[in-house]
Amino acid sequence: MTAPTDARTPVAAPEDFSSLLKTRGLYPQAPAFAAQSAVSSQQSALSQTQATTILAFKYAVGVLVAGDRRATAGNVLVYDRADKVLEIDQHSLMAIAGVPATAWEMARVLEHSFQFYRRSQLAEMSLEGKVRALSKLLRDNLGAVLQGIGIVVPIFATYDHAGAAARLYFYDAMGAQFEAADYATTGSGSPAVRSVLHYENTWGKKPLAKLREEDAVLLALRALDTAAESDTATGGVDRRGRIYPIVKLIGSAGITTLPEKALGKLFKKHVA
C-alpha cells in the first residue's frame, strides 16, 4: 500500500529559468508542424517583418556591436527605427537578424534567465552557460524555422572577466554556435559588410583588434552604409531623416551606448 503524499513535502526548484517557465506553461512554444500545402499557403499570405543587418568586431579595448534601424516585410518598409542590439545583462549584448517578434521574445527570456540564475545561485552564470542558453532558445525555435516562419540568426557578444577578454559568438538558425576570432556579421546586407571588415582587417592601416574607439565606430558606420547601397533591406545611415545605426561598445567597465548626436558628428565629419 502506497503511503499518502504529504502536501507539505517541498517540491524541487527548477534548475533554470526556462524550466520554471515550462512548469508554469509560460514557455514560448514553436507552432506545430503543418502539412506542406498549409505551409505554402501560410507563407504566401503572411509577409513577415524582418530585421537586418548586424555586425560585431573586436577592437582595442572590447567589442563593438552595431545594427542598422530598418525593418521590412517583403518590399514594404515597416519601421525605420528598430532596435536590433539588445542589452541582456551588464556585460552581454544580443544583436538580432531575422523576425523581431521571435528575437525580442528570445532576448527577454535570456535576460530573465541570467537574472534568475544570479538571484538563485548568488553568482553570475558562466560564459559557457550564457552562450548555450541562447543556443537552446534557437533550437527550441526549430519547429517554426522549418515552417519558414520565425527565423532568427543572432550575434552574442560579452566581456569575460574570468579571462579578461572580449568574446564574440555567432549562430545559425538551428542553434549551432561559433566563436568569432575577429568579427561576425549576419543579415541580408552581411556579404557587403563582411567584405569591408575583411579588407580592413587584412589590408587596412591597422587590424581590427588594434583600432581606437573612434576609428572602430567610423568603420561600423561605413560598413553599414556600404551594405545599404546594394541591399534595400539595410537602412544604413538615413541622411535626410538623420537616423543612425545603433552602436554599442562592451568593455571591462560594461556597456556603452553611443548617442545619435555623437554618431552624427562623426558621420558628417569623416564619412558624408
With respect to residue 5, please indicate whether it lies within any of the assigned structural domains. no
Residue 220 lies in a domain: yes
In the predicted structure, residue 243 carries a pLDDT above the cut 90: yes
Assigned domain for 132 exists: yes
Across residues 231-256, what is the average pLDDT? 94
Q: Does the residue 1 lie in any domain?
A: no
Long-range contacts of 23-27 (CB under 8 A, 24+ apart): 27/140
**Phi and psi torsions of 119, nearest 5°:** -80, -30
Q: Which residues pair with 50 in a beta bridge?
A: 72
CATH code at position 236: 3.60.20.10
Residue 11 lies in a domain: no
Cα–Cα–Cα angle for 12, 15, 20, nearest 5°? 85
34 lies in some domain: no
What is the Cα–Cα distance from 23 to 128, expressed in whole angstroms?
24
Query: CA-to-CA distance for 111 and 125, rounded, in angstroms?
Result: 11
Question: Model pTM?
Answer: 0.85
pLDDT digits (tens, 9 = 90+) for 18-57: 777 778 777 766 555 444 444 444 444 567 889 889 999 9
The answer to whether residue 126 scores a pLDDT higher than 90 is yes
Alpha-carbon torsion angle 211, 212, 218, 224, nearest 10: 50
Tell me which residues are annotated as active site.
Answer: 52
The DSSP code for 85 is E
pLDDT band at 8 (very low <50, low <70, confident <90, very high): low
Q: Is residue 41 part of a domain?
A: no
φ/ψ of residue 244, rounded to 5? -115, 160
Q: Residue 103 is placed in which grid cell?
A: 528575437
- Looking at residue 14, its pLDDT comes to 62
Taking residues 231-252, what's their average pLDDT? 94
Residues with Cβ within 8 Å of residue 236, at least 6 apart in sequence: 68, 224, 225, 226, 227, 228, 229, 245
Quote helix, strand, coil % in the chain, to nearest 5. Answer: 40, 25, 40
Question: Is 68 within 8 Å of 232 (Cβ atoms)?
Answer: no
Cell 568586431 belongs to residue:
57
Confidence of residue 4 (pLDDT cuts 50, 70, 90): low
Q: How far is it, in rounded angstroms, from Cα 258 to Cα 230?
A: 26
Tell me the average pLDDT of the chain. Answer: 88
The grid coordinates of residue 161 equal 572577466
Task: Give me the residue label for grid cell 532576448.
Answer: 107
Would you state the cell numbers that stand for residue 50, as one nine-digit string? 524582418
103 vs 31, higher pLDDT? 103
Condensed to tens digits (0 to 9), the pLDDT of residues 175-212 reads 999 999 999 999 999 999 999 999 999 999 999 999 99
* Count of domains observed in the chain: 1
What range defines the domain where residue 195 resides? Answer: 49-271
Task: Report yes or no on 117 lying in a domain.
Answer: yes
